[in-house]
Structure 1
Amino acid sequence: MRFCTLASQVLICYLSLLAFRGKPLLVAVHADSDPAPVLDIKGHNIQTGVEYWILPVIRGRGGGLTLATTGNRNRSICPLDVVQEQQEVSNGLPLTFSPVNLKIGVVRLSTDLNIKFSTSAAVTICLNTSKVWKLDNLDESTGQRFVTTGGVEGNPGPKTISNWFKIEKYDKDYKLVFCPTVCNFCKVICGDVGIYLEGGVRRLVLSKVPLKVMFKRV
């Protein structure tokens, strides 16, 4: 009878030990369920608030991204629009990424984020205009939705719905996407960010053909 009691105690202790050792495994599985981090060209995680260049993977069709005044506008010069540099050798202007949850510290795939040109680098005539990206209203002359600036950083919700973008995998590289999920009841138009050639200017626009991009730390 003593043997049975001792054996039972050993079994209970063994099961308790397994349960205790199993807890970290459950935490690890939960952590792995987070979206994968976005990597720069050196394989490092992209960090929030750190400056990067967004560069095209396919060479020979322009360089990095910058700001410009474009034609066919029914509004004032400001805010400036997001375009691709004509010269392939140009990296464009540095940008920073601000995910909806800034506490994470790392930019992850399929996560709502603000994209903003560096204030120090983006010295333009529109000094009082935000350099945060946003999707503009439908351009009636072209039937396109262009990416411009003048957006609001943070404050996720229906009033800032046009200011949130995402980074998604595209083959072995990445693409920029507009499909915000910061508002559960808002109806949004989703699409990839590509290039629209207008008068020799390579404007960023919602497109069926995404611009394949990579990220280089400044």
Structure 2
Amino acid sequence: MFLKLFISSLLILAFALQSEAEPRVQSHTHSVLDTNGNELQAGHPYYIVSAYREGRGGGVSFDRGQSSRTAMVKQLSSDKNFGAPVILFPVSKSQEKVDRERVLRETSRNPSPARERIIRESTDLNIRFSDMPVVWQVEDSRQSPSSPSQNRHVILEGQPGHPGPSTVRNWFRIERMSKSSPEYRVAYCPSVCDSCQVECGNIGVTMESGNRWLSVSQHREFPFVFVKANRRW
């Protein structure tokens, strides 16, 4: 009898601890913040600007490499230039059933308030420039290397939405780097495809012929902040 009561007490204690642990896990998923301390909203434009000024470069934009026909993402050299605004759109189960036109509508510059979603850290998401129909994509260096260095650059060739094997190179994550200020980095380690073999890394800056191209790296990262578009630094 005593043994049964003891086992029952342990089970009750285990369930109680589990129920207390669940909210703690959820609370670890923090919202991504802009420089004003506001939560980032899906579909709203933001500048990605270097967290460190004084010669460390400015915001991100796009251009074409010397040996590439595909537009590539780069950091501008002037710390006074915020670059081109980007729009973020997080993955969701419903995205698997929507077509490309709806995804583009939901990431328009003037989204419907009913469709607004908060961007959270370490969540798979698409990134695209507000004036471009395609999203950021990690280059497959085995098929079409854009430079002799074989770096996996970030290019503009991905189609939005439809998480799975065919789009695995289109998904990125925002990770916080500083607890005291909203400094972030972009990581490439998508979880939209369980069967895909992905070589993870952070998005860093690769210097090539005076250009600052964004590429996947195991040793570099690009610390930045989000500045809401149409607002001063």
Q: Please classify the TM superposition score into its range, dividing by the shorter chain length.
A: 0.7 to 0.9
Aligned-residue identity in percent? 34
Q: What residue identity is the alignment partner of 1:41?
A: T
Q: CA deviation at 1:185?
A: 1.0
Q: Report the equivalent of 1:45.
A: 39
Structure (1 or 2) with the larger CA radius of gyration: 1
Give the ranges of 4+ consecutive aligned residues of structure 1 lying more than 3 Å apart after TM superposition.
30-34
- Aligned pairs for 1:1-218 (under 5 A) are 29=23, 32-33=26-27, 35-59=29-53, 60-73=55-68, 77=69, 79-101=70-92, 105-119=117-131, 130-138=133-141, 139=145, 141-172=148-179, 173-207=183-217, 208-218=219-229
Give the TM-score, by structure 1 length.
0.77
Residue aligned with 2:118, SS? coil
Report how many residues are paired.
Answer: 182
Q: What residue identity is the alignment partner of 1:146?
A: H
Superposition RMSD in Å = 2.3
Residue aligned with 1:160, SS? helix
**Distance of 2:26 and 2:188 partners within structure 1:** 25
Residue aligned with 1:133, SS? strand
Q: Is the 8 A contact 1:169 1:175 kept in 2?
A: yes
**Distance of 2:57 and 2:24 partners within structure 1:** 41
Which stretch shifts more, 163-172 or 152-161?
Answer: 163-172
Residue aligned with 2:126, SS? strand
Q: Is the 8 A contact 2:43 2:116 kept in 1?
A: no
Name structure 1 gaps, 5 residues minimum.
1-24, 123-129
**Distance of 1:159 and 1:196 partners within structure 2:** 26
Residue aligned with 2:166, SS? helix
